[in-house]
Amino acid sequence: MVNATPTDPRLVLRGIGYRGGTFVDSAAMFPFSGAPATETRGVHVAFLSPVDYPATMWTPNYFGALAGNGGTQLLVTPVQHRAANVVNGTSIQRRHTEMSLRLFYSGNLSQAALSDAPSIIAVDALADVGGVTFAVQVVGTRRRRSTRSGSPTPAPA
């Protein structure tokens, strides 16, 4: 757990962005993520995700801040799994040895701040002579953002 409490009490953590990091992929293994240890154990089912799961490896915990007896904590789980061989039931474990996260804080403490943060649902890029144009579709905001930057890489001759 990481303390993510802002030094300014007028701010609240509103978003977390993954900026990069390093990781190590394991050899194919048998994950036990589908067989929780409970008093009514069940059959172990195969892990079938074709992409790294979970997609989000962090969760803010506001309970301490809301209860007034602590601050905002950032819970980080730096491990992901993805299916390697569905027939054999094996998966690849991706263990992040370093993660660079950016924390976004807001001073908006009004009723509007209770809504969920906007989510990016699509990003399109179009290269032309002047550079690259990005169009981003965002859910949870009324704005459509578009930026232009860089120069296109020339095609090989």
pLDDT in tens, 9-51: 788 888 888 899 999 999 988 776 655 566 666 666 677 888 9
Q: What is the pLDDT of residues 67-79, one digit of tens each?
A: 877 788 888 989 9
The residues spanned by each domain of the chain are: 2-112, 118-157
What does the pLDDT read at residue 41? 61
Decide if 115 contacts 136 (C-beta within 8 A): no
Calculate mean pLDDT across residues 82-96. 88
Residue 128 has φ and ψ, to the nearest 5°, of: -145, -175
Alpha helix (H) residue ranges in the chain: 63-67
